[in-house]
Structure 1
């Protein structure tokens, strides 16, 4: 797995492990290399956090896994955990830092799976992501698997082919206008920067993230603080319905972003988002892998 590490000038407060959503590479967290002011990584760097943006397995510069057709989101979450542990071994200066998992869209599901299965993080931040799925976009075959995670897991290789053509292939949204309205940026320059982060689709992850109940057990197991952010033009269930899926969470904070679509970093509200996230990290008092 390939990642980009951003280090602040002084000692880092935390390490943010940043996982992009479906169809995007790690460049999503550093849009246009910071030239547009829409880089999440550089804003959080300025607040004193170390940031590592990671390409998901099979996406960007990360290698396609062996037995790619059957590689599952739970495998991907475990891969992220192993990569984090490898980083700690080769960078002892980062090993003692509390780590916060930051996942956008499908990446939020992968962060959730990683945490539930490996307890990698002191806290998690889920951006445009929750466990409620997107029932309105599902096929009848996919709808039949709602609330049945075991059957869904077995069907993922077939469903990834049916929806995306395979597990690690490039995918173009069929409705360009709808895609622009939901996933575009605030202006042409930022929209172009977002498009530049487009990559292969982790098909199994895309399907699983859209089916309600597909990772309900893992969401219910999260007992660290959770920060949620949603745009007012985002996709998914109303924000008020989200916390019910995370009954064990130590703290649940929801930030609502005005005039913002699903790709939060592409809008002016990125400033508010990063400020609010930084404040939340200070408030929960993460230290050495735990939240106070």
Structure 2
């Protein structure tokens, strides 16, 4: 396994920002002999408040939290991306990033990395892969970015939006009253009075219950939450203090409807047993132009999938499904 860190210049995709714009990526490359005949690259982007290192987590005294390494050991290329305004990518004025800029820069980044993998310039000694297939995968906000990017630029050969609803993304709560309370707090976002998670009203909203199943080790839970959430004062390596302001709009009903309806490639919807799709079995209908839509729900998993004890079930499903769609070319 080989791990390569890069910064990709996507300035041309966001000329309205007026400055140089780069996106941080980490390629985790498998032994070429382990790759399938039709090689696959998973382009993964994280949720709000997290960085690309969410896909490469390591905790002292615990094993098996590095999804990128797992995918590479099982033959797939993994490309983790900090989208614009997140982690180690360029952090412009966060209020100037809109859905179109997020999608355009993500598309530009993916296409450049994919070109380097296809022509053999991604890493010294790594072979060219002219028949490479691209799978766009994102968790939570990253899933929203994936939907936007595919709907507007048709970047990928297949997509796997995880922990995001194409109908209405909403945080589960411990009871119905608390859930409805959380939903009502987005009325000001819908009316334009609130434009960022920084001035959104988070009072009374439980973030631990929707994010983490009860069997997540206490020290790992503490590492994730100790700096605060959703407004982080400090962040672990897998976290991000910054979130593009427009991300708060991703929690509004119907915000992804038009983009999801334009997607024609295969779609794998992945959710935890307790997640942000209030009615998961309705989700496939949102991708009405695709002829291949799957839904996979993982037991004992909450919204932050890679912390769950059952995380490998989802990783394996993504790996198997990606190989399948690459092989069939549907």
Q: CA deviation at 1:261?
A: 0.6
Could you tell me which residue of structure 2 aligns to residue 141 of structure 1? 188
1:179 aligns with 2:207: yes
Size of the aligned set, in residue pairs, is 269
Aligned counterpart, 2:293: 252
Q: Which has the higher contact order (CA 8 A, sep 6+)?
A: 1
- The CA RMSD over aligned residues, in Å, is 2.5
Query: 1:108 offset after TM fit, Å?
Result: 0.7
Which of 273, 280, 283 lines up with 2:314 in the alignment? 273
Aligned to 2:25: 3
Given that residues 194 and 266 in structure 1 are in contact (C-alpha distance below 8 angstroms), is that contact kept between their aligned partners in structure 2?
no
Cα distance between partner residues in 1 of 2:250 and 2:281: 19
**Structure (1/2) with the larger helix percentage:** 1
Deviations 1:190-248 (A, max 9, x none): 32454522213424342221011112110100111111111111123221011121111
Q: 2:167 is matched with which residue? A: 132
User: For residues 261 and 87 of structure 1, do their structure 2 counterparts lie closer, same or farther at Cα, with a shift above 3 Å needed?
Assistant: same
Gaps of 5+ in 1: 145-154, 167-171
Correspondence list, 1:150-165, <5 A? 155=192, 159-161=194-196, 163-165=197-199
Q: Distance in 2 between matches of 1:89 and 1:278?
A: 22
Equivalent of 1:108 in 134, 140, 143:
143
2 CA distance for matches of 1:44 and 1:89? Answer: 20
1:1-292 alignment runs, 5 A limit: 1-10=23-32, 12=35, 13-32=39-58, 36-65=63-92, 68-91=94-117, 92-93=119-120, 96=130, 97-134=132-169, 136=183, 138-144=185-191, 155=192, 159-161=194-196, 163-165=197-199, 174=203, 178-184=206-212, 186-192=216-222, 194-195=224-225, 196=236, 197-286=238-327, 291-292=329-330
- In structure 2, the gaps of 5 or more residues are 1-22, 121-127, 171-182, 226-235
* TM value normalised by structure 2: 0.74
* Deviation per residue, 1:91-144 (Å, 9 max, x gap): 422663111000001111100111111111000011111212246254323345
The CA deviation string for residues 160-197 of structure 1, in whole angstroms up to 9 with x for no partner, is 24x4249xxxxx96558x22222236112432454522
> Whose radius of gyration is greater, 1 or 2?
2
Aligned mates of 2:99, 2:54 — CA distance in 1: 20
CA pair 99-134 structure 1, distance change in 2 beyond 3 A: closer
